[in-house]
């Protein structure tokens, strides 16, 4: 008996020693370190400053790191430690997660990668094999914003609507659940979150006529725990909750036949002390309330912050940023939780800079409005009424009788690109833009379930109401004081579509569309360091500690909604991870040279009427991805090879390029309509 005890004791000690000494980056090492990421560790993320364990770094989603080896004094020594080619050619919007030097991130088509940040080596790849035809439902590229990590498993939501659990150590499949009705035009591009043992995920597709909702699944087995619908459905079918019954009183007409919208496609936050999940909701479907809800109404819960119980999904409170939304003014932009001194009292708040141009501070316990001031040029409202919390609209807001130049544009004063809050400087850093859009009310409107339905289109039969102050189209990074409600500094952006940010004690990091990765002084906005990565950046950077050394990583892969149409660098390089440290000595990767392209020069054989028909069809169906005045990650068809354009019917109707991401439109077009589109492209190339 004593011999057996000694044997098992020695074996146990040997086993413990082996586990302790497992090589970094091995499956056993990854299993050990990721299994420790549970509710307690995620709640106390500040106790693990060397790791980046969730999308926004912590439940507050503030993207503020306490690491300080890289600071204002040492930033000049920052240089490349390694770079890794992911072999992708579309947009990368993901925030990487890092635990003890093991990185997890997602790329185009919802593919997941695990890398060892000590070497830059890819450890495993998981491809969910999203059908390429799914891109026909996607409004804004085949992107994915990231993964979640919990108890040794990685969770990814795929473009075609699945939520998948895989082993963090090996990339081995655990389980998958369909979160959407695949017969409808739902997609998912957002990052899941794990709260209280539940994986939270929303969806997108409002422009193509869907009804939004958020679902919580058990992280262990994928079973549905609760679902919160963001807009009401057909009252004849009953309401899923009292919240939906309440919301239905703010809608008119037969909105359910058009979808309704309100999709929660990006932003969530969580307060474990209050037990509340905060959901940011999207625009109406279609955009134009006059069509969607004739007769008016606030149309809850469009463009709102909604608080629900983490255990049940039960509605607790809401705040609507844009009542009667008509401009694609989503409120899915990042929500940051903080405790701020307001009027002599410490308040638990949510801060958000949604598309509509106002920066909001809301009490996260009650939903009470605290403050809201414009952070960019706004002409649809003068201010937010302090008593009611409602915007005071201007004559530029509604566009029933005029075509109106409204600011901000549907791209928003701020979009999905992450902002960050620095508790040291007490400033919020916002990737912002100033831009406007000409909205119009069509004389006739027909809902088409197979294409974008905004209900906002220039009407040549109605006059234009212009605003001379709304003609700018420029990006900028701004530092915002959320207590005073004012801008402190700004630095010009490279474009209208620059990347999200990261902040540390005295620095702000951001990449831009020109491929420049910058570090700014957090107090003044002065550029302290930069490096040229040669391809447009849209993803936010992260920082972490590996074996006592601080690193900064950023995923580079040009794309997204603007990246479909335009590029701001000579070439678009493959998707890569670039990682920096003090005194790094790696060489920049070799660049793919620019390709010489020639414009089409084919005789136009169609009549003017056929060319005009081709132009209308192209605008309605093709222009969402293909822009003839630019050319981003999706080809500019004016520079196609003649032999490719000759195959247009096979490409568009028969889907011979589906495997390349060009979906089949089947019988949506007749052969003559395809020819009209072809001839329109030939005519444009001649101009």
DSSP states of 600-612 as a string? ------S-HHHHH
Which residue, among 444, 434, 441, 440, has the nearest Cα to 412 in the 3D structure?
434
β-strand partners of 122: 115
DSSP states of 573-600 as a string? PPPEEEEEEET--PPPPPPPPPPP----
Q: How far apart are CA 63 and CA 421, in angstroms?
A: 7
The H or E element that residue 282 is part of is none
In the chain, what is the straight-line distance between the N-terminal and C-terminal CA atoms, in Å?
93
328 tagged catalytic: yes
**Residue 256, Cβ neighbours under 10 Å: how many?**
17
Which residue, among 136, 127, 135, has the nearest Cα to 164 in the 3D structure?
127
Which SS3 state, helix, strand or coil, does residue 155 take? strand
| Alpha-carbon distance values, 655 to 125, 640, 647, 664, 666 (Å) | 28, 17, 11, 4, 7
**Residue 287, Cβ neighbours under 10 Å: how many?**
23
Sign of dihedral through CA atoms 512, 267, 506, 364?
positive
Angle at which helices 671-686 and 608-617 pack, to 10 degrees?
100
**Residue 173, Cβ neighbours under 10 Å: how many?**
12
Pairing of strands 464-465, 403-406: parallel
Burial of 236 from C-beta contacts in 10 A (0-12 / 13-18 / 19+): exposed
Q: Which tokens sit at 92? A: 């990368």
19 contacts: CB under 8 Å, gap ≥ 6: 28, 32
DSSP states of 534-587 as a string? SS---SPPEEEEETTEEEEEEEE---HHHHTT--SSSS-PPPEEEEEEET--PP
Burial of 585 from C-beta contacts in 10 A (0-12 / 13-18 / 19+): exposed
Q: How far apart are CA 216 and CA 223, in angstroms?
A: 9
Q: How far apart are CA 333 and CA 351, in angstroms?
A: 10
Which SS3 state, helix, strand or coil, does residue 674 take? helix
239 contacts: CB under 8 Å, gap ≥ 6: 232, 233, 245, 248
Which residue, among 387, 175, 199, has the nearest Cα to 277 in the 3D structure?
199
Question: Helices H, strands E: what count in the chain?
Answer: 10, 39
Catalytic residue among 51, 100, 116, 328: 328
Q: How far apart are CA 121 and CA 103, in angstroms?
A: 10
Q: How far apart are CA 476 and CA 496, in angstroms?
A: 8
DSSP states of 183-225 as a string? TS--B--SPPEEETTEEEE--B-GGGS-B-EEEEEETTT--EE
Catalytic site positions: 328
């Amino acid at each position: 008996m004593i011999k057996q005890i000694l044997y098992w004791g020695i074996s146990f000690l040997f086993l413990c020693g082996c586990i302790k000494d497992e090589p970094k980056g091995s499956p056993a090492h990854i299993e050990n370190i990721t299994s420790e990421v549970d509710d307690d560790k995620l709640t106390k993320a500040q106790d693990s400053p060397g790791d980046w364990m969730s999308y926004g770094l912590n439940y507050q989603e503030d993207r503020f790191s306490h690491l300080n080896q890289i600071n204002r004094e040492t930033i000049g020594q920052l240089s490349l430690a390694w770079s890794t080619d992911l072999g992708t050619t579309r947009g990368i919007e993901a925030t990487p997660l890092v635990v003890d030097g093991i990185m997890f991130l997602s790329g185009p088509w919802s593919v997941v990668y695990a890398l060892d940040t000590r070497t830059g080596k890819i450890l495993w790849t998981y491809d969910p094999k999203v059908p390429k035809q799914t891109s026909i439902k996607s409004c804004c590229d085949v992107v994915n914003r990231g993964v979640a990590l919990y108890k040794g498993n990685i969770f990814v939501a795929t473009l075609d609507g699945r939520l998948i659990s895989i082993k963090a150590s090996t990339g081995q499949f655990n389980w998958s659940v369909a979160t959407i009705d695949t017969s409808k035009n739902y997609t998912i591009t957002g990052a899941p979150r794990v709260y209280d043992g539940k994986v939270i995920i929303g969806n997108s597709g409002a422009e193509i006529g869907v009804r939004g909702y958020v679902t919580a699944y058990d992280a262990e087995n994928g079973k549905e725990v609760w679902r919160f619908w963001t807009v009401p459905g057909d009252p004849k079918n009953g309401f899923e909750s009292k919240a939906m019954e309440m919301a239905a009183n703010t809608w008119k007409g037969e909105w359910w036949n058009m979808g309704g919208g309100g999709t929660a496609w990006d932003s969530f936050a969580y307060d474990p002390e209050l037990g509340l999940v905060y959901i940011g909701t999207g625009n109406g479907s279609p955009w134009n309330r006059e069509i969607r809800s004739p007769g008016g109404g606030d149309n809850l819960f469009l463009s709102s912050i909604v608080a629900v119980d983490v255990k049940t999904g039960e509605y607790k409170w809401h705040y609507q940023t844009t009542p009667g939304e008509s401009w694609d003014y989503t409120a899915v932009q990042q929500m940051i939780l903080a405790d701020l001194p307001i009027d002599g009292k410490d308040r638990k708040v949510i801060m958000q800079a949604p598309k509509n141009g106002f920066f909001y501070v809301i009490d996260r316990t009650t939903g009470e409005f605290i403050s809201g001031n414009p952070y960019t040029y706004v002409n649809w409202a003068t201010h937010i009424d302090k008593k009611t919390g409602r915007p005071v609209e201007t004559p530029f807001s509604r566009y029933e009788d005029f075509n109106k130049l409204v600011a901000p544009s549907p791209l928003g004063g701020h979009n999905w690109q992450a902002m960050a809050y620095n508790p040291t400087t007490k400033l919020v850093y916002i990737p912002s833009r100033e831009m406007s859009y000409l909205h119009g009310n069509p004389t006739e409107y027909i809902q088409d379930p197979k294409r974008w339905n905004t209900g906002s289109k220039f009407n040549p039969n109605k006059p234009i109401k212009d605003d001379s102050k709304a003609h700018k189209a420029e990006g900028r990074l701004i530092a915002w004081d959320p207590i005073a409600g004012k801008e402190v500094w700004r630095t010009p952006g490279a474009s209208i579509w620059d990347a999200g940010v990261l902040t540390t004690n005295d620095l702000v990091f951001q990449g831009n569309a020109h491929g420049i990765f910058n570090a700014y002084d957090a107090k003044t906005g002065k550029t302290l360091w930069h490096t040229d990565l040669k391809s447009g950046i849209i993803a936010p950077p992260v920082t972490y500690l590996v074996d006592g050394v601080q690193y900064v990583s950023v995923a580079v892969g040009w794309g997204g909604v603007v990246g479909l149409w335009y590029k701001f660098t000579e070439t678009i390089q493959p998707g890569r991870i670039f990682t920096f440290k003090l005194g790094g000595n790696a060489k920049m990767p070799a660049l793919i040279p620019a390709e010489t392209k020639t414009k089409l020069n084919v005789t136009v054989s169609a009549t003017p009427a056929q060319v005009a028909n081709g132009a209308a069809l192209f605008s309605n169906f093709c222009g969402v991805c293909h822009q003839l005045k630019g050319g981003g990650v999706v080809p500019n068809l004016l520079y196609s090879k003649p032999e490719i354009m000759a195959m247009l019917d096979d490409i568009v109707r028969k889907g011979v390029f589906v495997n390349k991401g060009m979906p089949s439109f089947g019988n949506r077009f007749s052969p003559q309509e395809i020819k009209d589109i072809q001839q329109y492209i030939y005519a444009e190339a001649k101009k």
